Each structure stands twice: as C-alpha cells, then as structure tokens.
Amino acid sequence: MVAIAAFSSSGQEKPAHNPKLGLFVYILASAAVIGGFLFGYDTSVVSAAMLYMPDAPGLKPMDTVWQEVLVSISPGMAAVGSLMSGTSSDYIGRRKVILGASAIFTIGALVCAASVNKIMLLVGRVLLGIAIGFASMIVPVYLGETAPTHVRGMLVSAFALMISFGQVVANVTGGAFSYIDPYNVGWRLMFAFAAVPSAFQFVCFIFLPETPRWLYENGFEEETREVLEKVYNGDKEWVEYEMAEIIAFNEDQQKENEKSHASGPVIWRILKTPHVLKACFIGSMLQAFQQLAGINTILYYTADIIRSSGISNNHTTIWISVALSVCNFIGPFIPMSLIERVGRRIIFLFSCGLVVLSLIFIGVAFLLVNHDSAATFPGNQYGTNFNSSYPDAKGCMAYTNCDFCVTTDACGFCHDANTKQGYCLPASSDNPEDYSSTGSCTSVNGQPKILNLKTFFVTSSLLLNTYGHSYVCSIPNNFQWEKYYCDTKFTILPIIACGVYLLTFSSGFTSLPWVLNSEFYPMWARSTCVSISTTSNWVFNLIIALTYLSLTQVIGKYGAFWLYAGLTIIAFMFILFLVPETKGYSIEEVEMLFMNKKQRREAESRRRETVTEVRSRMNSTVSFGGQLQVHKY
C-alpha cells in the first residue's frame, strides 16, 4: 500500500464537512446510469429472444453458427466501440459521446425489432454492440469527473447496479413478451423495449452539462464554475476547493508537459509515463479478471444451465432466469452502501474470495451430476439398428455416461424409460432435440408417442414439482431421447450454485473494476486509459463466451468452473498486492498513488509551486450569482 501527503494537489485545505447533495446530482447520476441499464439489458435480452428467433418467419433456418454470431457480435463490437469512444470523448466531450450512444442504442433496438431477415438483425446487433461499448467506457468517466469526492465510488457503483437491473428487466420482459405470439411478435418486442430508456436518456442529456474537468481542460473556465456550483449545491467552500484542484492540476500538467516536451498521440505519452502505464496495466487486468472469473458463462448460457437441470419448457426457463438475475441484482447494493466507509480494496477482496468458493461449489455440483447420471451401454450392446458409419456415431458411442454425452453438441442420450441406462447416439441433423440419426431413438414412420415428464424448477427460492407436461415425439418402443440434460437427484444443485455465484460476484467484482478505472488516471490520459481497460473487458468477454462450450467438452463442466476458480485466485493475489486504496482521495490525487516515492515527492513539490498563483487568482475571482444556464458544448 502507498499513501500520499495529507494535502490537496492545489495546496488548499480540504473542507472539513461533506457537501450537501442537491437534486441536480441525483438527476445527473440517474440519467447517466441509464447507460448501465442499457448495457445490461441489451447483453441479456438476446438469451430470451434466442429461444424463439431460430424458428421465426424470415429468420429460419438459423443454424448454430448464425446463433453464435448473433450472440457474440455485440461483445465483439463493444470492444470496437469502447476504443472509438476514448479519443472521441477527448475531442467532442463526454456528454456528446453519451448522446451518441443513446441515439445508436435507440436505432439498434428498432432495427433488431423490425428485422425481416438475419442480415438486418445482424446489423441491429452490431449497432447495439457499438453503443454498449460507448456506454461502458464513457458513463464511469462522466460520473468520476463530475461526482463529489465523498460519493464518487457510490455513484459509479450505481452504474454497475444498473447493469444488473437491466439484466433483471431483460429477463422479466422476455418472460412477459414470450406470451405474445413469441415467434412473430414477442421476440421483436423484447428488442424494441430498449428504445424507450435510450430515447429518454438522449432527451435528458440535451439539457445536462459537460463534466467540469473536461470544460476547464478545453478553456471553458466560467462554465466549469457554473457546473461545480450545481454539483455542490451552492456550497462556496467546496466549489472553491474543487475549482482550485482542477486549476492546479491543469497548470501543473502543463508545466510537466513543457518540461518533458510531451507531444504526440496520447497513447505514446502513456507508454512514456511509467506511473500512468502502471495504472493502465492494473486497470486493464482488473477488467480482464472480471471476465476470467466466468461471469458471462453464467449470463450468456443461463438457458443451457437451466435446461441441464431438466427444464424443457421455454417459459419456465425464462422465469428461472429471472430468479437468477435477481441474485445478480441484490449484490451491488453491498458496495454501494459500504464503499465510502470501508474502502474499495476490502470489498473487492471479500467479493473475490467468495467468488472462488462459489466457483468451486458450481464445479462440485456439476461433478455430482456427472457421477449420478445414467451409464451408457457397452459398445457391443448397441444392437443391429445402430449404424456406426453415421457422422459422429463412433465418437458418441465412446462416452461413458449421460452427462458426458449431452455435453457434446453432436450427441444425445437415448435411454430406457425404466432402467435409465441407455445409448449415446448422434443427434438427427433435422430435429436434434427430438431424435437420433441412428439407433433406438430414431423417428419411425412419424408415429407420435406421448411421454409424460416430471420437471423440477426453482422460482422464488422454492422447489416446486410440476407434473403432467407432455410433448410429442416419434420415438417407438420404451426409449426416451434427451438432448440437453440428464435425470439425476442432483439436477437442481447447479442452479442453486449459480445463484450463490451471482450474489457473491455482484457484491464487488461487478462494480469495483469500473469504479477504480474511473479514478486511476490523470485527466490527459483518462479517456484513453479507460477506453483501453474497457476494451480489455470486452475482449476477454468474447474469449470466455467463445471458449466455454469447447472447454466443457474437453475438461467437463466442473473442470471449466474449477479453471475459472484458479484464475480468480490469481486475481485475488493481484488485487492484494497491486491495487491501491482510493477512498477519500480527490480524482487528481489518485494519480500519485501509482508513483514511486521519488516521483511523489517531486509531484508534491511541483504542485506546491502553483499554490501562490492559484490562490491569488481564486481570491480575485468574482463570485458568480444569479441564474445559471446550461451551456451546450
């Protein structure tokens, strides 16, 4: 841990009291965090929509490749959007980038809702991805540069809370709209709903101001004071203190630039400034570790995990997803309420440690499911109706139990309804959910046989039994076909484990990377560094999303989650030894936490040199009164 001297960058004494927050701060923060809501909503709603889109008129046939592309294109384009937003926010301002993100969110949502073919839907998902990238980078920066010091962490945590809230609403609206002609209308309404909050945010930011630090950096000194007057609710002592901080830091930076002949692209200056490069590396790794903890395997593959527990009804799957997303929504209230009292590090380490334990719990749950699932018959008992020349037939036959069998895309489990033992067979290319391509679960003459299933599902933390659900399949004799799940006494355990994981993850791991990245960097490098760290988040998001299914086939579901647990242990050690505490420091002071002792002494001495000039200027400044206007920049 490091500490800096107990004086501000301007040399002016910090007011002893906390400023009283006015309505303006709440309006500003509420409008800004809508970006977090849209981030969460648009990344999650596709999970519910994908239950119906593959069979929607104009979109079918939609094979696995198309489904993967439509799901993963948004995270991929979010990485592009976050990179684009860094430079653009320096030139045109944070506020205008938020306005652009809101507009793109609205257009993307409407394009998805109106899609008449897969290409149009893909274009809509690309637009949503770019908007998500803009929002995920710029909203924490906007809040970090505008919020009063004593609530900065809480307000940036609210951004993470709204991500979780957006995921809850995505599942709730997905469930509600799934009852409105879901294959023709319902999935369209799921996407269209996002246009409402994005349009509202756009209108709000027409009237809200730019951040005071960007304004001063770009020569709008009078407007900077006007915004600070509103942020600090007219508290003159705090307005003067913050104004002095901004001026002193800006002038100090100009002197340092002249001394070092700093010029060229911002990224080159970052590479040549060791303490900023160090901060950028730590911030980027925190975002990477957030994804390496496996959060998006749960969020993106919720439906698969639920189906693996024996749930076959799409409506039921969506409502269980709602219950899990509520767990993810509850957690962020912990850092919001405690972050300014106990600090960032303690909450982060606490959440990280619990995530390790919950990942181990998920792995154990899947291991129990695997060990309890029905065994397959030996290869010499597959019978004369099994043709090993069919694609994947020999590969499927090699699996020893139901869980290994259904984990593989190409295979399904054909079991005796009485003994539960069965065959691992290649799935039909035409109807993989209903038949095998060879063996005892093939379609014969299209004659339907009604089978009764007992399904178990969890909702509102209660275990309910639902009997009498029927479906039609054309499988003769006494065999049943299962493509996605196995019937075991532990099938409900992975859902419970995932709920625990989401609760522990969201209690700190969700919000702290965003909070810390909004604080780590000096003004000249902030948008670029946050852009880089946010891109790190989306790149690893995409890597985890694209490798999860392959990992489960190589090392099993339990092995995949134990791998994530191992990576999260590394994250815990990284946070313990490298992440400084930023609680109580102004956003200008945080920069010095990454300097060595010599650099800190030089920085403190250099900033003292500007004190006389700054105080003289501040004392000669005429107080601004009267009605303040919001300027458009």
Per-residue pLDDT averaged across 320-336, rounded?
85
The pLDDT tens digits for 68-78 are 788 888 888 99
With residue 498 as reference, give the H or E element that holds it: helix 493-506
Q: Cα–Cα distances in Å, from 96 out to 42, 105, 313, 405, 572? A: 21, 14, 44, 52, 37
Residues 6+ apart with CB under 8 A from 386: 393, 397, 423, 425, 438, 439, 440
Per-residue pLDDT averaged across 88-113, rounded?
94
User: Candidates 1.20.200.10, 1.10.1370.30, 1.20.1250.20, 2.60.120.260; correct CATH number of 23-260+277-367+489-583?
Assistant: 1.20.1250.20
Of the CA atoms within 13 Å of residue 551, those in its CB half-sphere come to 16
Angle, nearest 10°, between helix axes 152-177 and 333-342? Answer: 180
The pLDDT tens digits for 457-495 are 333 333 333 333 333 444 556 788 888 778 888 878 888
Whether 609 shows a pLDDT value over 70: the answer reads no
The pLDDT tens digits for 581-593 are 998 887 778 888 9
Q: What is the DSSP string of 501-556?
A: HHHHHHTTTTTHHHHHHHHSS-HHHHHHHHHHHHHHHHHHHHHHHHHHHHHHHHHH
Contact 506, 354 (CB under 8 A): no
* Better-predicted residue by pLDDT, 455 or 113: 113
* Better-predicted residue by pLDDT, 387 or 631: 387
* Better-predicted residue by pLDDT, 114 or 628: 114
Residue with tokens 């994908």: 50
Instruction: Reduce the DSSP state of residue 455 to 3 states and report it.
Output: strand
Per-residue pLDDT averaged across 26-45, rounded?
90
Model confidence pTM above 0.85 = no
For the chain, the distance separating the N- and C-terminal CA atoms, rounded to the nearest angstrom, is 40
Whether 212 shows a pLDDT value over 80: the answer reads yes
Domain ranges of the chain: 23-260+277-367+489-583, 374-449+471-487
Whether 567 shows a pLDDT value over 90: the answer reads yes
Residues 6+ apart with CB under 8 A from 400: 375, 376
Alpha carbon distance 468, 312 (integer Å): 13
